[in-house]
Structure 1
């Protein structure tokens, strides 16, 4: 039986090396999803790292990664498979006339089957990570298919027959809460809600990706972003924008925030002009004051491969 991770500590450490900081609650939930062989439904606002979590899990495990991007109108066949019609037509043209029953067996064989993400994860020769991204954008009909597929880890293709998963994948479903998901789907899954991180946690996340960023600039950046998120914006900046903005400020040689550097780089944080104008109107009051540097707390490492002192400090700050 494939359990993916040995314990929650190895989840934390594996994700850390893959560039994702996980607190103890998240690590325990991911560990249990693998142990119990249940899908994990991850909800929360856009930009908190739900999709990145699935990619980081695949990297941490060294597992194949398959992503199904949901959208209105996505149906079972598009999520599962399609037939290579051009190849089937060429096959028909090269054969002499045959009995239709015999011919049909060849036409609808694995040779002509083009698996989509769900089927690819089921057919993977090694345990895979399957991401079903933004499931709340899909129609309710797709939920019925997912209930069947993720309940028994088996799907049925009308022309081909039933297909049982070779290995049960680690399944991550994400939702931005655009619509309410069915109770049946939620009961099938373990649930995890990810919100925007605290200031201290977000500093640790940015530090993980940009270890050379000056502490003063890091504190000012994150303080500014958290103030910005409290504004009524069409799209608040997510973690990816935080990292990109901090990287841009480093490239510009900034040692701290001021009005000019914010004017030049707001387009990295905000993607809509209305949001930019709203931020510009409050720019003076949003610029952070200098803060004292808080040293990271020490935390003992338990289980799994040893972390470097720098990784120990980052993880300790995240689990304050």
Structure 2
């Protein structure tokens, strides 16, 4: 196939896995399917980028990430259909890195990370209400009123504190509910941005058995409610978000996206997910990179190929093929050690390299 023919065949793709932005102007993702259109608004300001986080995950750029044509097509299908990606594979093969790759190439700003543990609930991802902090702030505010205005004024303002519809200068000084609500990574990703946010849901297979089912409604409808704000008399509340220093206005206690976020869900394959959950996701499996891909990744992170790198890569590949459990971080650590001045990868140095490349399945 000629270059023009290949370009024409790839016209439907918006993501090409190049590892760096395509143009000065970020590419448009195209209209969503009718059943994946949402009406959230007003549109939030675009998020700030986080180049340091991308640099840690991807290196300085200019390398070709390790995705084959089928995987690139799957990512594009998820982008165009506005569906989450469910990525499976052994630990350390770069599953979570894909979220940063998509964000960098499409210019989607800071990646929102939701790291899952066995105690994680859906509400943790949506929002947190600091009820204790609010109660303490109200008590302190009321105590201040008593000191300044006396007990009669304090009683009057106590009533107004629990009735926000009352209007007075004193009431405006009371602690506002929105100050004690922080949207989680999932809740922030579902704000009505003009372009989708990238949300990394890392290691969902470590969650409680109910969490995937709890996610179904949110993933399908692109919206959620904050009950504390629904019950509040105020029509709108300014709340904190998961972005550093970020704020957003929530109206009537309900959040709905305008563009469904790019959701990258990773799993180490430790459990199966319900069929209803899998139906809402596009599956993708990642494998350990080949020798050539590993060498390219090392050059991408270090900017060079230190002496002895090929021997370390060969040793790493042999151990993976022998059935051991190994992470790409181990290989990068071993190569980094060989670039340290005065370090020798023989004798006692060899023992250290062996420790860095140890089989993680053996527990030590």
How far did residue 104 of structure 1 move?
9.2
- CA distance in structure 1 between the aligned counterparts of 2:159 and 2:124, rounded to whole angstroms: 31
Question: Does the CA contact (< 8 Å) of 2:127 and 2:182 recur in 1?
Answer: yes
- CA distance in structure 1 between the aligned counterparts of 2:315 and 2:341, rounded to whole angstroms: 18
Q: So what's the TM-score if we normalise by structure 1?
A: 0.72
- CA distance in structure 2 between the aligned counterparts of 1:14 and 1:223, rounded to whole angstroms: 28
1:95-134 aligned within 5 A: 96-98=157-159, 102-103=163-164, 109-123=177-191, 125=193, 127-134=196-203
Per the alignment, do residues 243 and 150 of structure 1 end up closer, same or farther by CA in structure 2, a change over 3 Å counting? same
How far did residue 232 of structure 1 move?
5.2
Question: Does the CA contact (< 8 Å) of 1:12 and 1:22 recur in 2?
Answer: no
How far did residue 93 of structure 1 move?
4.8
Question: Does the CA contact (< 8 Å) of 1:213 and 1:250 recur in 2?
Answer: no
Query: Paired residue for 2:319?
Result: 228
Matched, 1:7 2:13: yes
Query: Paired residue for 2:206?
Result: 137
Query: Paired residue for 2:304?
Result: 212
1:176-215 aligned within 5 A: 176-214=268-306
Pick from 118, 134, 139: which aligns with 1:87? Answer: 134
Question: Does the CA contact (< 8 Å) of 1:63 and 1:127 recur in 2?
Answer: no
How far did residue 44 of structure 1 move?
0.4
- CA distance in structure 2 between the aligned counterparts of 1:162 and 1:273, rounded to whole angstroms: 45
- CA distance in structure 2 between the aligned counterparts of 1:108 and 1:136, rounded to whole angstroms: 38
Higher Rg: 2
- CA distance in structure 2 between the aligned counterparts of 1:80 and 1:12, rounded to whole angstroms: 32
Aligned pairs, number: 268
1:36-115 aligned within 5 A: 36-60=81-105, 61-85=107-131, 86-91=133-138, 93-94=140-141, 96-98=157-159, 102-103=163-164, 109-115=177-183
Question: Does the CA contact (< 8 Å) of 1:237 and 1:270 recur in 2?
Answer: yes
Consecutive unaligned residues of structure 1, counting only runs of 5 or more, are 277-320
Q: So what's the TM-score if we normalise by structure 2?
A: 0.64
Question: Does the CA contact (< 8 Å) of 2:17 and 2:101 recur in 1?
Answer: no
Question: Does the CA contact (< 8 Å) of 1:12 and 1:23 recur in 2?
Answer: no
Over residues 253-310 of structure 1, what are the superposed CA-to-partner deviations in whole Å (9 max), with x where a residue is unaligned?
679x65654223223223769577xxxxxxxxxxxxxxxxxxxxxxxxxxxxxxxxxx
Per the alignment, do residues 168 and 199 of structure 1 end up closer, same or farther by CA in structure 2, a change over 3 Å counting? same
Per the alignment, do residues 241 and 206 of structure 1 end up closer, same or farther by CA in structure 2, a change over 3 Å counting? same
- CA distance in structure 2 between the aligned counterparts of 1:270 and 1:69, rounded to whole angstroms: 26
Query: Paired residue for 2:70?
Result: 25
How far did residue 67 of structure 1 move?
0.9
Question: Does the CA contact (< 8 Å) of 2:222 and 2:256 recur in 1?
Answer: yes
CA RMSD across the alignment: 3.2
Question: Does the CA contact (< 8 Å) of 1:44 and 1:175 recur in 2?
Answer: yes
Matched position secondary structure for 2:86: strand
Q: Which moved more, 1:5-14 or 1:129-138?
A: 5-14
Pick from 220, 241, 264: which aligns with 2:330? Answer: 241
Over residues 181-232 of structure 1, what are the superposed CA-to-partner deviations in whole Å (9 max), with x where a residue is unaligned?
1111111011110011122222222222234215x72321111001122345
Question: Does the CA contact (< 8 Å) of 1:58 and 1:65 recur in 2?
Answer: yes
Structure with the higher helix share, 1 or 2: 1
Query: Paired residue for 2:264?
Result: 172
